[in-house]
Structure 1
């Protein structure tokens, strides 16, 4: 009896619901009716979701240089908070396609572009309210000189963004950028730093409200800092040449994830418009102490492996090797060894007083001592020995410099 009543009730419910369903279908909009007008075109008012990769936070960001070292981290940070990304790329799509997983379905869009093609740049930024320029080169090629990438390219992107009504423009420059850098191994100094300086001026001229970030040497997974010093081609057998043995150069490297977080914070904070930020790590080190520490971490110190650091000024064969590497492999120097890179490693990081740093953006800086052992783990000697057995001493960390010690050393 109970089962019979249940069947009758379900039939009655279906008969009752059917007219309601027809009513809903008749009142719904079809594609022939045209799109419904939006109540507002303000993207921040169209936010959806509770946060995370499956949400939309109101930011549509175009990231130039997304396939580069810093770009991959920036895309991950942006996608993590629900940013829709338009990722311009050139050449093969293999480097770009792996960024698809940085956001949810429909949140990561790709666009082919050429830095010398203004129409492709215009197509990449016309739907965005934030544009991030990470395009840069560590060395010149026959197709792209420093002037083409850091000055002309940056100016064109900034100018087109201004024309297309982009709200925020964030430009990655370089610490120590100046119009007349002092020469060390290159007579006229670093062309990279010189072009970065004039690139900042070009961006400021085209987009006065641009936010500029000046990073020091950036380290992290797949970087060109730690792996440059760990590469076999950078050494002379087991000896390591540095300008003045690295004892007259002070470095303040910064972790790549901290850079990416700073860029994300700039994109979300309108008060950062028109400002310059220095992206440096929390501690300063002599380059000699850093390189010695890297080799201790890699179990390649002077006691066990035979490591020796010396002054490159007295070894012309090393400079010849760098020039020969540039000649034989102009598009991809072995171990990132080229004269421009050697020149930049001789330059002391100059942090200007009164200019904000990443800490002013709310970034908690990562100490090198916490990250470098993990990054250099694949380069260790006796790689397959278990560290837990205690056969190797725990490497002592590098000595840090404070302002008083630096003043005492260099006056």
Structure 2
């Protein structure tokens, strides 16, 4: 579940531009509001699109991740300047460059333990988005951009979760069943998975799995009925049964290409 908190409105959607602007933070936790002179990137101009200026100058932490690339693409598509702090090789950033107009996608190295590098990364931005470690679907990326453009989202916290809740095991089982391919599970107690993950954590290179990842595989999204969600941002969430076939049909064997979706038992949902 993605919890998105909007602290203040970006300068690009203000009816009038003043001499100062404050950042928007799309993350949970303490917030420090900065006051500084307006940067040219936050002055809207043009008719819209990648070659215009939306008035949004956004710093996207985790922009190279699964969800981050979709957020960066949507921001670039609407003509935003995007600063992407990164900790990876330059070659891993090449696919992000075409997502915005020339000079609008800016990369800067940063260290999560170095406060000065964080300050440099957000020094000219009026929107700050924290997506470090996030692995949600693209509808969440659209929701984040919609929240940035919505003046009424100022100061609100959104719970971005779909219509149904699943455990990873049940999702994987459904994907194999819909693809008409055999699925062999390895049902082991979680403490044993923890022991295996601890062994991988000793690897001096990037570990294949960790104890934290094992715990996340055994949890599911939480619903918060009292908080606004995807619908309040103009997004109608779709169930996995509605969308999965669009991708998985190509992975079926020839004899099952025309098999109906109804032949596959729906994925088991979580109600607790």
TM-score, normalization: structure 1? 0.50
Counterpart position of 1:325: 200
Residue 111 of structure 1 aligns to a residue in which SS?
A: strand
Higher RCO, Cα 8 Å, sep 6+: 2
Counterpart position of 1:230: none
User: 2 CA distance for matches of 1:296 and 1:400?
Assistant: 12
User: 2 CA distance for matches of 1:273 and 1:104?
Assistant: 28
Deviation at 1:358, TM superposition (A): 1.6
Question: Over alpha carbons, which structure has the higher Rg?
Answer: 1
Alignment pair present for 1:283 and 2:167: no
User: 2 CA distance for matches of 1:324 and 1:48?
Assistant: 54
Residues 335-356 of structure 1: per-residue CA shift (max 9 Å, x gap): xx43322222323433122122
- Correspondence 1:146-161 to 2 at 5 A: none
Counterpart position of 1:109: 106
Counterpart position of 2:71: 74
Match of 1:346 among 214, 218, 226: 218
Residue 88 of structure 1 aligns to a residue in which SS?
A: strand
Residue 75 of structure 2 aligns to a residue in which SS?
A: helix
Q: Cα–Cα, structure 1 residues 124 and 290, in superposed 2: closer, same or farther, change >3 Å?
A: closer
Do the aligned residues in 1 keep the contact of 2:200 with 2:207 (CA within 8 Å)? no
User: 2 CA distance for matches of 1:354 and 1:130?
Assistant: 25
Counterpart position of 1:396: 264
User: 1 CA distance for matches of 2:204 and 2:119?
Assistant: 34
Match of 1:369 among 232, 241, 251: 241
In structure 1, list runs of 5 or more residues that go unmatched: 1-38, 137-171, 173-216, 219-255
Deviation at 1:271, TM superposition (A): 2.5
Q: Cα–Cα, structure 1 residues 92 and 387, in superposed 2: closer, same or farther, change >3 Å?
A: same
Match of 1:274 among 155, 165, 190: 155
In structure 2, list runs of 5 or more residues that go unmatched: 1-17, 20-37
Match of 1:87 among 84, 88, 110: 84
User: 1 CA distance for matches of 2:173 and 2:157?
Assistant: 33
User: Root-mean-square deviation (CA), in Å?
Assistant: 3.4
User: 2 CA distance for matches of 1:319 and 1:133?
Assistant: 28
Bigger helix share? 1
User: 2 CA distance for matches of 1:45 and 1:321?
Assistant: 49
User: 2 CA distance for matches of 1:316 and 1:122?
Assistant: 40
Q: Cα–Cα, structure 1 residues 295 and 332, in superposed 2: closer, same or farther, change >3 Å?
A: same
Counterpart position of 2:177: 296
User: 2 CA distance for matches of 1:280 and 1:127?
Assistant: 31
Counterpart position of 1:139: none
